[in-house]
Amino acid sequence: MLFCHVLVWPLDKNYFRKPLEYTTFVRLNELLSQSNNKIFIKNGLTPTGNSPKILVTGGAGFIGSHTVVSLVEAGFEPVIVDDFSNSERSVLAGLRTILGRDVVCYPADCNDAAAMEAILQKEAISGVIHFAAYKAVGESVQQPMKYYRNNLDSLMLLLELMPKYGIKNLVFSSSCTVYGQPEQLPVTEETPRLPAQSPYGNTKAISEDIIRDTVQANVPIRALALRYFNPIGAHPSAEIGELPLGVPANLIPFITQTAAGIRPSLTVYGDDYNTPDGTCIRDYIHVVDLAEAHVQALRKLSELTTDASYDVINIGTGRGETVLNIIKTFEQETGVKLNYTLGPRRPGDVEQVYADVTKANNVLDWTASRSLAESLRDAWRWQQKLGS
């Protein structure tokens, strides 16, 4: 039977089920002795073959955990780093059920230089997917410094450490928020970046600039920034999905929690936008499609012969949906009637944005294949498993 322990230093050897587990843990912490953060996960059985190891920061999060699954399915070996500040350790059990084994996971802060360096010394990493970041638009408006410090410092640390350990390939988790409120739709990668509508969006724009400038300085890093639109859904197994802490900041978990009776009603923020029904328009992409885009991005980076390169790619469906249409489709697909009210606009929200995905289709040889209806059914199945 496979298992995964969360180990908090210091520990007595009586904590461990088997002497071998204690010995392995001690050796691991000897290797990681430079770190002040002595909290790590000791896994049961993991492959020891020649699969390329990919560091996945924020790998226990919503998009990160689904990408871990897609990486394993594609023949990569993910190594998760996550401080669980915006995720839960139960995600690891879901991954184990889907994959039939454990994955390596270090519960460390990606801003902890000693911890990150110790992990890179231990693991022979061949590429990085950087998800770790705070992501709530509304909170970023209220606490901008929290977002600038966390989201930017962790990226800069990675860019400093990657060349030191010979790691060339980086896939960065960017966002359509860098476009602000675009003047023309759909947005292409050449659409001018307008001032972000929130500090969160601004951290993504600044992060892209940091990566671009690093590459232009001939630092040997090959990077792709994937500008996500709105990820929704859950793994079809209902073993992993979105786990918002507290009140959801995103539409779909708020819908599913309202449908489950956890929330008394859903507030639709703004019904006076210049859209067909007055509500915001977004490009909603199934999280598994998004995860598969990361795998394709890694593959394309590995095919490059240049030492330093940088590009940006939109990842979406190319279709815009209003909030009210999302509610209508959810009700049709699940048979659950939603209680919702119309409220004022929310600070930081843009009116409408959806992607031109031509570049993703051509460069990554990737396209989103899952429908809105499928995404909403998977999200509801996940919520039903979580219970009310």
Does residue 272 form part of some domain? Answer: no
The answer to whether the predicted template modeling score (pTM) of the entire model surpasses 0.95 is no
Whether pLDDT at 49 is above 60 = yes
Q: Structural domain tally of the chain?
A: 1
Q: What number is the average pLDDT over the span 310-339? A: 98
Provide the pLDDT for residue 244. Answer: 87
**Residue 93, SS3?**
helix
CA distances from 7 to 11, 28, 41, 369 (A): 8, 11, 6, 40
Q: Which residues are registered as beta bridge partners of 282? A: 321
The rounded distance, in Å, linking the Cα atoms of 108 and 118 is: 11
Does residue 278 form part of some domain? Answer: no
Does residue 257 form part of some domain? Answer: no
Give 114-135 pLDDT, tens digit per residue.
999 999 999 999 999 999 999 8
CA distances from 371 to 91, 104, 317, 368 (A): 25, 32, 9, 8
Does residue 322 form part of some domain? Answer: no
- CATH number of the domain within which 109 lies: 3.40.50.720
Does residue 344 form part of some domain? Answer: no
Lowest-pLDDT choice from 19-28, 149-158, 201-210, 321-330: 19-28
Does residue 73 form part of some domain? Answer: yes
Catalytically active residues, by annotation: 200
Q: Which residues are registered as beta bridge partners of 180? A: none
Whether pLDDT at 158 is above 90 = yes
pLDDT, averaged across the chain: 89
What totals of helices (H) and strands (E) does the chain contain, helices first?
A: 12, 15
Give 23-40 pLDDT, tens digit per residue.
334 334 544 544 443 334
Give 267-304 pLDDT, tens digit per residue.
999 999 999 999 999 999 999 999 999 999 999 999 99
The rounded distance, in Å, linking the Cα atoms of 152 and 80 is: 19
Question: Residue 177's domain spans which residues?
Answer: 4-232+285-316+356-369
Does residue 342 form part of some domain? Answer: no
The rounded distance, in Å, linking the Cα atoms of 291 and 288 is: 5
Tokens describing residue 65: 């955990």
Does residue 321 form part of some domain? Answer: no
Pairing of strands 169-175, 125-130: parallel
Which among 139, 211, 197, 244 is positioned nearest to 350, based on CA atoms?
Answer: 197
The rounded distance, in Å, linking the Cα atoms of 80 and 58 is: 7
Q: Is the bond leading into 10 cis (omega within 30 degrees of zero)?
A: yes
Contact between residue 110 and residue 56 where contact means Cβ atoms under 8 Å apart: no
Q: What number is the average pLDDT over the span 125-148? A: 95
pLDDT bracket for residue 352 (50, 70, 90)? very high
Q: What number is the average pLDDT over the span 251-262? A: 97
